[in-house]
A and B are shown apart, each in its own frame.
Chain A
């Protein structure tokens, strides 16, 4: 019996195994969707709470990672709507901030550029570029057509190219 079946059978402590296996991946996705550590932590926690509460409805048609990503994308969408009018809370802290290099500025610019994308484009872009999902996999996660996902990705790339064009030469110098 695997961890999912054990949780469904009532042994909820087996869910710890699922959390440990996927917590870093889900956190990374949440960070890219929110742009800061505190919101990413809250979102990550919310994703696993929803997953544990809803695991009875998980039919095993997709793998658990895909299912968790779907919850993360949907939870991120709700978070985005709630925070639509709030200013960017991008932060550079800890080890990265300590380096005090121009990379910190570039990180901020990239984060701002990605943050400026509409949520659908942003989530598709993050999943494809940073998480390595293929378009048809993203289509399954987001329950949309592969064509729509490709269109979102293409639009996101065009916007990012325009927003980050100032940094091409800077990048060449690195």
Chain B
């Protein structure tokens, strides 16, 4: 394998294709395919549980509580940022499952640690970091929402988000 490190060149399309074709699919045991149609029928056609049993089971109850808290949180956040609808939409999107607070926190941390420059530069860097996160998440809509924000709106939104998370 030492030879691999001697000469690193970007592979051609053909070379890449040959390398990629080394990745073989590991097939499951034959029993899986033999039973699949029966398992699918059994699961898909299982009668739905009555609504009250779903409500009373522990996991959905926790989920309902989470949804309630999330809704309450987003409503509170929307109230705080109600002065501009586009801003609240963007913030709600960031807080949604598609983007996630962890990525926002990471971006805020990156801004706080690495960019002690002028405020305008910080905004650009912060926006760039967020866009990278959104790009990795593959959410095109969020990118458009960000594009539509003016610098002033972005500044306001960032300060609001930082207040909420602090």
Residues of A within 8 A of B (CB): 12-13, 15-16, 19-20, 23-24, 27-28, 31-32, 36-37, 40-41, 44-45, 48-49, 52-53, 81, 85, 91-94, 96, 102-103, 105-107, 110-111, 114, 118-120, 129-130, 157, 160-162, 164-173
* Bound Cα distance from A3 to B162, whole angstroms: 56
Taking a contact as CB atoms under 8 Å apart, the answer to whether A27 and B27 are in contact is yes
Q: A32 — nearest CB in chain B belongs to which residue?
A: B25
Q: Is the CB of A157 within 8 A of B16?
A: yes
Considering the chains assembled together, what is the distance between the CA atoms of A45 and B38 in angstroms? 11
Q: Which of B10-53 contact A (CB under 8 A)?
A: 10-11, 13, 15-20, 22-28, 32-33, 36-41, 43-45
Among candidates A12, A81, A103, A162, residue contacting B10 with C-beta atoms closer than 8 Å: A162
**Nearest B residue to A119 by beta-carbon distance?**
B138
Q: A27-B28, A94-B26 in contact; A19/B3 too (CB < 8 A)?
A: no
Q: A31-B25, A41-B32, A96-B24 are in contact. Are A48 and B40 (CB under 8 A)?
A: yes
- The total of interchain contacts (Cβ-Cβ below 8 angstroms) comes to 127
With A52-B41, A102-B1, A173-B3 already in contact, the answer to whether A91 and B26 are too (CB < 8 A) is yes
Could you name 21 residue pairs across A and B whose Cβ atoms are closer than 8 Å?
Answer: A12-B44, A27-B28, A31-B25, A40-B28, A41-B28, A45-B40, A48-B40, A92-B26, A96-B26, A102-B1, A107-B22, A160-B16, A161-B10, A164-B19, A164-B20, A165-B8, A166-B4, A168-B9, A169-B7, A171-B11, A173-B3
A36 to B23, CA, bound (A): 12
> What is the size category of the interface that chain B forms with chain A?
35 or more
Is the Cβ of B16 less than 8 Å from the Cβ of A24? Answer: no
The answer to whether A20 and B4 have CB atoms under 8 Å apart is no
Knowing A41-B32, A161-B10, the reply to whether A110 touches B97 (Cβ < 8 A) is no
Residue of A nearest to B44 (CB): A52
User: Which B residues form the contact surface with A (CB < 8 A)?
Assistant: 1, 3-11, 13, 15-20, 22-28, 32-33, 36-41, 43-45, 97-98, 102, 135-138
Task: Report B-chain residues with C-beta under 8 Å of the C-beta of A161.
Answer: 10-11, 16
With contacts A106-B19, A171-B19 taken as known, whether A166 is within 8 angstroms of B26 at the C-beta atoms is: no
Q: Is the CB of A168 within 8 A of B19?
A: yes
Q: Is the CB of A28 within 8 A of B9?
A: no
Q: Which 4 A-B pairs have the closest CB atoms?
A: A16-B37, A110-B23, A19-B37, A52-B44
Flag if A31 contacts B26 (CB, 8 Å).
yes
Taken together as a complex, chains A and B put the C-alpha atoms of A106 and B15 apart, in Å, by 13
Q: Note all chain B residues with C-beta closer than 8 A to A94.
A: 26
**Residue on A nearest B46 in the bound complex, by CB:** A49
